[in-house]
Amino acid sequence: MRRTLRTIGATAAAATCVLAATSGTAQAEAPGPKSLYAPSALVLTVGQGEDANSAAVERAVTLTCAPRPAGSHPSPAAACAELTKVGGQFANLVNERPDAICTKEWRPVTVTVNGVWNGKHVSWAATFPNRCTMKASLGEGATLSF
């Protein structure tokens, strides 16, 4: 019986030494930058409705511009170039065209952009009276033509 108690005592002492040697405070390494570029990743939507909160989204695409153009957008390189040209100011992509021939029907279409542009959070929306007016206002631009 004495041998058993001595063996248990020796085992406990050894376990205590091992735990003391291995215990310590774990330090998580700070996350470093994964890229030299500020992130630019956007989700663009088109939906039927009067505002961004109530529009029924009909189409959505993703657009990443840094470090290289990518995403489900049909023309990511052209869209990124266009956004860079206007400095990420989405309102500058909309041009009212009074010469456009569109009906006066009220079937509102809302376009939204949400995400990050050059490291800054962005949220933008524009509502057009109908799809014809939207296409006329957005013109041939690549960014919002998807």
Tens-level pLDDT at each residue, the chain (146 residues): 445 444 444 444 444 444 444 444 445 554 555 556 678 899 999 999 999 898 999 999 999 998 899 999 999 999 999 999 999 999 999 987 777 788 889 999 999 999 999 999 999 999 999 999 999 998 777 788 77
Examine residue 23 and state whether it is found in any structural domain, yes or no.
Answer: no
Examine residue 129 and state whether it is found in any structural domain, yes or no.
Answer: yes
d(CA 13, CA 15): 5
Examine residue 32 and state whether it is found in any structural domain, yes or no.
Answer: no
* Domain tally, the chain: 1
Q: Which domain holds residue 103?
A: 40-138
Examine residue 35 and state whether it is found in any structural domain, yes or no.
Answer: no
CATH classification at residue 56? 3.30.350.10
Helix (H, G, I), strand (E, B) or coil at 100: coil
Residues 108/131, Cβ–Cβ less than 8 Å: no
Q: 91-106 burial, b if ≥16 CB within 10 A, otherwise e? A: eebbeeeeeeebeeee
